[in-house]
């Protein structure tokens, strides 16, 4: 019973923090995204980015995929972003999240790779 109460209390705290964060004006968002390989599949982590509309977004992109090819793409077509990230040479992408919605994140060089999503909240 104590464990259930502690879990519920923790969930309520997370909801309260999320509600507070959502009610504030858009802030600058800085996130590091890392391209990794798991059992032969390449993926950018974290796979989902959530920001508020109007946020200034700065993404540091790091390619840690050990296998060839040594370059991988990071693209958010809705924001005209298409960057090639070479292993050992991080890139920085900056943009303003000026439209709400769910936008795919893809590898424009290797379309079969697992993609992610950018979620921009009103």
Q: In this structure, are residues 99 and 62 in contact, taking their beta carbons and an 8 Å threshold?
A: no
- Whole-number pLDDT of residue 63: 92
Mean pLDDT of 38-48: 89
Mean pLDDT of 38-50: 90
- Domains delineated in the chain: 26-121 (2.60.40.420)
H-helix or E-strand spanning residue 17 = helix 2-23
pLDDT in tens, 56-113: 999 999 999 888 888 889 999 999 999 999 999 999 999 999 999 999 998 888 776 7
Mean pLDDT of 107-122: 86
Q: In this structure, are residues 43 and 114 in contact, taking their beta carbons and an 8 Å threshold?
A: yes
- Whole-number pLDDT of residue 10: 44
Residue 38 neighbours by CB distance under 10 Å = 9
Of 58, 59, 55, nearest to 26 by C-alpha is 55
Q: CA–CA distance from 12 to each of 15, 50, 106, 112, 121 (Å)?
A: 5, 20, 34, 39, 21
pTM over 0.85: no
- Whole-number pLDDT of residue 5: 35
- Whole-number pLDDT of residue 25: 64
Of 95, 96, 29, 86, nearest to 63 by C-alpha is 86
pLDDT in tens, 17-34: 344 445 566 789 999 999
- Whole-number pLDDT of residue 92: 97
Determine the Cα–Cα distance for residues 44 and 1; give it in Å rounded to an integer: 39
């Amino acid at each position: 019973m104590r464990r259930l109460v502690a879990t519920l209390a923790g969930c309520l705290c997370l909801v309260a923090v999320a509600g507070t964060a959502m009610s504030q004006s858009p802030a600058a968002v800085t996130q590091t995204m890392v391209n990794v390989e798991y059992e032969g599949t390449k993926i950018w982590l974290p796979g989902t980015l959530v920001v508020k509309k109007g946020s200034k977004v700065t993404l540091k992109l790091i390619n840690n995929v050990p296998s060839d090819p040594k370059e991988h793409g990071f693209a958010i077509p809705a924001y005209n972003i298409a960057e090639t990230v070479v292993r050992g040479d991080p890139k920085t992408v900056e943009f303003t999240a000026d439209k709400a919605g769910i936008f795919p994140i893809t590898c424009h060089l290797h379309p079969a790779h697992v993609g992610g999503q950018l979620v921009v909240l009103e």
